[in-house]
Structure 1
Amino acid sequence: MANGMKKLLNIAAKLEVGKNRKNTFGKYAFRNAEDILTGLKPLMVEYGVFISIDDDVELIGDRYYIKSTVSAYDAETGDLIKECHAFARESLAKKGMDDGQLTGATSSYARKYALAGLFNLSPMKDLDETHTSEEKPSIDAETHHSLDETHAREEKPTMEMETHHSIEEMINLAYQKGIDGRAFAKVLYGKNLKDLSQDDIDNAVNRFYEKGGALEYYLGHCDNVAKESSRAESEARNG
């Protein structure tokens, strides 16, 4: 396992994937899952690590999410080194995309976040879900495009718009710290995921790593619960 982690460390240190794609509406650069995999393949061969990606569908609240799992295996031993998960939710509808294309785009989005999480590529600056524009159908009917690529085609408005974060981004941040998104929302706001407002989501993502922010608040709450539980058990024993 130690040797496998060293291989993974070397790959993460050498992997460089530029954000060479452009979203002209949101005015930001991004990369997609295919870009990351292209950069990974020669390093997989060099260090003897195989990367596998699997998708599952999970019901969270009243919505279905694509859960992508990226697993790294030591090619010499076959042992699992590490895995990382990420979630993305399908939109209820998207002009110019049929159901198959919508699922494929959502899968690509979740896979990008899972790959970024495993190799510390930091997807935070991609701002994948900033657009609120009227959508223009421009999709090749036989191609699954990523959500980033689809958004890049939507260039109709030219006014500056406020940036918002998506609930998937919040869930993925929490999940990469081993925190269930549902528990995270409940502790922070006393709400179910489906009841979070846009302000709730933006605040949680923007202040996730701040001192006294969302992550610190959640971990502090869990620590207090654990201490209270331990105290109650001790009192019951000494009863």
Structure 2
Amino acid sequence: MSASTEPATGAAAGFPLPLPGGVGISRLCVYDTLAPDGTVGGSPHLHLCCTEAYVVVGGAGLVQTLTLSGYRETPLRPGAVVWFAPGTIHRLVNHGGLEIVVLMQNSGLPEAGDAVLTLPPELLADPAVYAAAVALPGGGAPGGDLSAAYARRDLAVRGFERLRGATLDGDPAPLRDFHAAAVRLVGPRVAGWRARWREGALRAAEETGRQLDALARGEAPHLAAADVHELPGPVERGRHGMCGLLDTYPLRRPV
């Protein structure tokens, strides 16, 4: 859910030091319109290799999650922190004014297609069909009509209801089939994801390793290079996201 637009200020090459662990960050105002099942909120989806965390800063709601372990609803209220592993289908439900700071593992992967929405099976079999079904005008750029974002949300809810119903009935086959379809859809992107991971999270972890090696030798050259980095605000406000309107921050180099 993080953005990849180059910031105007920052460290070398025009980019700030990555956030700890190479995570991404965004502020999310969850959609406040009704889905076909009469629930107010966002689009159910999963991530293929990114853990996601919510820090609730306003309003109230819950997150519906679905895994092979079952269906769960977790309340969201200010101060709560909730996170879940890749493969967890999640859907935000807005009970009023729900606002969240989202922390996303592997900054750069989510907007590169790491998320797959729970569309009905007939829309998952072909990458071109899926891409057309989830596309938004201007890529979801801020402003304008939200009808396309709501339409894809409603498609994802239809698919989610089917998966949830089967799971609650003790039949994991539809959910396993969805997992397999998601893997097929993202297959062509994995090489690009690996490059983003190397530049982001892996690079951050390796830098820590170099610092530990230096400290073990009684050295600390990185301390002399210490600096403070700042982004005065999001570079984009109100992007049409899967779960709501996003304020996004640039926190990675392009690959």
The structure that has the greater radius of gyration is 1
| Greater helix proportion | 1
TM category (shorter chain) comes to under 0.3
Give me the TM-score of the superposition, normalised by structure 1: 0.28
| Greater strand proportion | 2
